[in-house]
Amino acid sequence: MDKLRGTVRKLGLEGGLWALVTDEGASIELIDAPEALKRDGVRAEVLADRSGADVTVGMVGDAVRVKSFQIL
């Protein structure tokens, strides 16, 4: 599992998807993001799992499944 920190963004690709733009500048699609995390512009730390998240239609970069998160 990975611990990621950055800003949550709603991207208008493919009908809309949620991504975390990390502090390093990478865009990572958040698969099955909890409703409480779906807040554009909020900073968060996400504990994420990459297994089972290798194929998505979003095509913004890597994708992860959110296991837990904390709003910063």
Res 71: pLDDT: 96
Q: How many CA atoms lie within 13 A of 11 on its CB side?
A: 19
* Region of residue 71 (left: phi > 0; alpha: psi -120 to 50; beta: else): beta
Domain ranges (residues) in the chain: 2-71
Within 8 A by CB and 6+ apart from 33, the residues are 18, 66
Domain topology for 2-71: OB fold (Dihydrolipoamide Acetyltransferase, E2P) (2.40.50)
pLDDT of 12-59, one tens digit each?
766 688 999 999 999 899 988 999 999 999 999 999 988 765 555 556
Phi-psi region of 15 (alpha: psi -120 to 50; beta: other; left: phi over 0): left
